[in-house]
Amino acid sequence: MPYTSVPLFWRLKKPKYNLTGTKCLKCKNVYFPPRNLCPECRRGGDVQEFQFSGSGKIISYTIIRTPPEGFEHYIPYAIAIIRLDEGTNMTGQVVSDIEKIKTGKRVVPVFRKMHEDGSDGLIHYGLKFEVVD
Amino acid sequence: MRVAVVGIGCTKLGEHWMKSLRDLSTEAGALALKDAGIDGRDIESLYIGNMSAGRFIGQEHLGALAVDQAGLNPIPATRCESACASGALAFRKAYLSILSGEYEVVMAGGAEKMTDIKGSGAISTLMGAGDQEWESSVGLTFVGLYALIAKAYMDKYRLSREELSLVPIKNHMHGLSNPYAQFNYEITVDDVLKSPLIADPLRLLDCSPITDGAAAVILASEKVAKKFKNPVWILGSGQASDTLALHNRKSMTEIQATQTAARKAYEKANVKPEDVDIAEVHDCFSIAEILAYEDLGFSEKGKGKELLLSKDVMIGGKIPVNTDGGLKMGHPVGATGIKQIVEVVKQLRGEALNQVKNARIGLTHNIGGSGASCLVHVLGRD
Amino acid sequence: MIDSMSVGIVGYGAYVPKFRISVDEISRVWKADPETIKNGLLVNEKSVPDKDEDTITISVEAGRNALLRAGIRPQEVGAVYIGSESHPYAVKPSGTVVADALDMGPELMVADFEFACKAGTAAMQCCFALVKSGEIKYGMAIGTDCAQSKPGDALEYTAAAGGAAYIIGRDPLAIMEGTFSYTTDTSDFWRREGSDYPSHGARFTGKPAYFKHVTSSTNELLKKLSMKPSDFNHAVFHMPNGKFPLKAAKLLGFSSKQIELGMVVTKIGNCYSGSSLLGLSRVLDSAKPGERILLTSYGSGAGSDSFSFLVTDKILERADLAKKTDFYINRKENIDYGTYVRLRKKLKGG
């Protein structure tokens, strides 16, 4: 499965572990997941690293009950579209009790296992989110 | 110069344990040639839509495969991919290739073989239509993507779970006596609500199935098409793109790529939404059909459900949608866009099973992923 | 003597997963008498990690809390050592993932430590030495475990999950006055490479193992520092259950009152490498300047590390900077045995 590639995950460590994205200094847009080319300014942009705080709020969510390969052990799990405070959206799992998850709730990141590449392969870690009480 | 569809063919949609991708593509192509009454040697170029044969069956180079199996070497063959809109993309490419003056008679087909791998493998493969690094990697599924859209839409526009169920109920009814459909049974609201949750709030009966199938159509330049007895003209073709990931869209409750592609197609065709007599829209999941009504201009934003409640989108209504049952009756991903053309052409020829009276203008609507790409075609008869 | 050059704990942090399984529930399945077990072990329930938690994820959360309290930039940490007997990989360090997740390094010393339940305190000793010698400015020592236990075995009632991180440096909230270790080859508990579950020597784990090493190490430390039990306000011993630390305290001359604050085992079970370190974090959460704390860990195989900590007034400004141990202990959700075996992957093929 392509998304368990070792080099791919290693290359994406900073955004996946630390929520490090990018910002175009020209138009001031922030990007997470990071973009190296600003879609607004394109080649005229000035894109630099930008650190997101991780706080945000849920703008929609679902509970996955039929998983893709590799996620069987984790069902059911919640996935939300989260609006990060700095002004951009991302997709992330929410680990709180399902009853606590509602559109509009604020969330903070927690470090968790994302996925295991079988019993011999790598364990992929990353950030999930937790509802703030 | 205009281009017309002069031949159509479609295999039965379902789990074809005894047929490989090459069997399906060859079968569909042969059916289209038979319908057109021409010989395979008359085809100058082939465009084949397929989303993910590489992951479903480990096969790439599909243009070469399809042409080889059909015995049509050495004609040029091109595989077109735009996730679930691969079929419509192949159709548009075929259309543009004739418009360019390069060819006179071209075949556009689509084929997908989804059942040679386990269900969980199919689920992972379908997420290739999303953002691999940032949506698939966190465990999101295709159903999950549309579930996120459904939740946002249901909250914003007060669409109830029962009202959403009207989409699959309608499509099952339309597909009831369709011999090509994967299913031939009616369902009730109760059936939908009792079916297992796949990704809240979407249930099994909200989802199009995993299907094997293929479809093919033959396009001809105006000069050649005039020699056929029932050409159906391509009045307009529109294609648009939007962000790959759902989280990057400007809105969670509409598909702007549809709006843009439709606007282009309507413009070229010089028609308005209310002129459309029959539409085959992309109901990969129930919510997608409601969004389609709005994005295609059949209803106002947030009011899509009214077309269901008034039965206007049913056979006999003002704008029948998915008269063959739509994607709910089978969604062999790369073939769907062509399959939709087949139904619209049948309707405009007057040969459809659930015939819409006096159908003059037909529309097909095919989406890739959660709305990252969209193709809309408007067809009409003289 | 307290001065800003003294080396000790500049930041600390705890993390315990939220799920709990009770002795009542486990004994229900194995048809044992819960009261006998609870009275025998002085443990009521234990913590269970979620499906996506492991030693690495727990260490990251504990480490984050420690950094918050220390108030330093992660880049200032010169060494990270994770001590555990449940490192997720047999070969690939937990420390590198934790270091990158906490944005430390790459100019960083990292190694994983292993010595049953005292791997975390062994890491603390190394950090102490590196800071004291001037080799690094700050070192982070973490003790975390997601302990495994054989179904139906006595250890199933107590083998828990949790961890604590300690940042060692100068100008601390608790000075490390001294440390002492006592180590012998004593096989009271072990697990062979490839085995799913550990084996233990039942009663052999008591006198010749736990008590011998805990008392020897503590007594030698007291001798080294010319101190006696009454010089300490609090004592934390490794907690395989609630009985052993009580007995160790008695043998050494500490009162049950002195060990009360650190006795986390009753509510969360034995977190192995995290056990004594979580006891220490709970004590630090409410310690007052000038108080003295004894810490003696124990790792099977066997050995004990003892420390004497003297709390400074820095504790007042730092203790509240991150979630306290009780926040994690009290934030809980009880699960049944079926959910427990699913989460702990004890099901064949599951």
Query: Cβ A68–B136 below 8 Å, yes or no?
Result: yes
In whole angstroms, give the CA distance from residue C206 to residue B309. 75
**Residue B58 in contact with partner chain A when CB distance is under 8 A:** no
| Class (C level, CATH) for B144-208+234-380 | alpha beta
In whole angstroms, give the CA distance from residue C61 to residue C323. 10
Chain A to chain B, count of Cβ pairs less than 8 Å apart? Answer: 108
The predicted-structure confidence for B111-168, as pLDDT tens digits, reads as follows 999 999 988 889 999 999 999 999 999 999 999 999 999 999 999 999 999 999 999 9
Question: What is this model's ipTM?
Answer: 0.93
Residues of B in contact with A71 (CB under 8 A): 139
In whole angstroms, give the CA distance from residue B288 to residue B367. 9
For chain B, how far is it from start to end, CA to CA, in angstroms? Answer: 15
What are the residue ranges spanned by the domains of chain B? 3-118+210-232, 144-208+234-380
The predicted-structure confidence for B169-178, as pLDDT tens digits, reads as follows 999 999 999 9
pLDDT above 50: residue A130: yes
Predicted pLDDT of residue B287: 98
**Residue C331 in contact with partner chain A when CB distance is under 8 A:** no
Q: Which token pair is C189?
A: 């508990």
Average pLDDT for chain C: 96
Query: Cβ A13–C100 below 8 Å, yes or no?
Result: yes
Q: HSE of C205 in the Cβ direction (CA atoms, 13 Å)? A: 18
Predicted pLDDT of residue C60: 98
Q: Which token pair is C272?
A: 């192995």
The predicted-structure confidence for C261-314, as pLDDT tens digits, reads as follows 999 999 999 999 999 999 999 999 999 999 999 999 999 999 999 999 999 999
Contact C26, C138 (CB under 8 A): no
H/E stretch holding B374 reads strand B373-380
Interface with chain B: mutation pick from A13, A81, A86, A102, highest number of B CBs within 10 Å:
A81
In whole angstroms, give the CA distance from residue B337 to residue B84. 8
In whole angstroms, give the CA distance from residue B99 to residue B257. 24
CATH architecture of A54-131: Beta Barrel (2.40)
Give the pairing of strands C45-48 and C19-22.
antiparallel
Give the pairing of strands B3-10 and B232-241.
antiparallel
If you search the block for the tokens 């409750």, which residue do you land on? Answer: B253
In whole angstroms, give the CA distance from residue C51 to residue A16. 19
pLDDT above 90: residue C215: yes
With cut-offs at 50, 70 and 90, classify the pLDDT of residue A34: very high
Q: Mark B174-184 as b/e (b = at least 16 C-beta within 10 Å).
A: bbbebebbbbe
The predicted-structure confidence for C139-167, as pLDDT tens digits, reads as follows 999 999 999 999 999 999 999 999 999 99
C177 is catalytic: no
pLDDT above 60: residue A58: yes
Asked, colleague to colleague, whether B3-118+210-232 and B144-208+234-380 share their fold, the answer is yes
Query: Cβ A89–B202 below 8 Å, yes or no?
Result: no
Q: Which residue of A has its CA nearest to B126?
A: A68
Q: Which residue of B has its CA nearest to A94?
A: B138
Domains annotated for chain C, with CATH where assigned, are: 7-343 (3.40.47.10)
Predicted pLDDT of residue C198: 87
C117 is catalytic: yes
With cut-offs at 50, 70 and 90, classify the pLDDT of residue C3: low
pLDDT above 80: residue C1: no
Residues of A in contact with B198 (CB under 8 A): 65-66
Task: Considering only CA atoms, give the Rg of chain C.
Answer: 19
Residues of A in contact with B248 (CB under 8 A): 89
The partner residue sitting opposite C61, judged by closest CB among A111, A113, A123, is A111
Arithmetic mean of pLDDT, C180-186? 96
Arithmetic mean of pLDDT, A89-97? 96
B208 SS3 class: coil
Query: Cβ A68–B198 below 8 Å, yes or no?
Result: no
Q: Mark B266-305 as b/e (b = at least 16 C-beta within 10 Å).
A: beebebeeeebbbbbbbbbbbbbbbbbbbbbbbbeebebb
Least Cα separation, residue B143 to chain A (angstroms) = 8
Average pLDDT for chain A: 93
With cut-offs at 50, 70 and 90, classify the pLDDT of residue A2: very low
With cut-offs at 50, 70 and 90, classify the pLDDT of residue B183: very high
Average pLDDT for chain B: 97
Supply angle C-alpha B308, B312, B318, rounded to 5.
160
In this complex, whether A and C touch, counting 3 or more CB pairs under 8 angstroms, is: yes
Predicted pLDDT of residue C290: 97
The partner residue sitting opposite C52, judged by closest CB among A17, A18, A128, is A128
The region that residue A75 occupies, defined by phi over 0 for left and psi between -120 and 50 for alpha, beta otherwise, is: beta
What are the residue ranges spanned by the domains of chain A? 54-131
pTM above 0.80, yes or no: yes
Least Cα separation, residue C153 to chain A (angstroms) = 25
Q: The domain B3-118+210-232: what is its CATH number?
A: 3.40.47.10
C-alpha distance from residue C267 to each of A17, C22, C129, C293 (Å):
31, 9, 34, 21
Predicted pLDDT of residue C4: 60
pLDDT above 80: residue B382: no
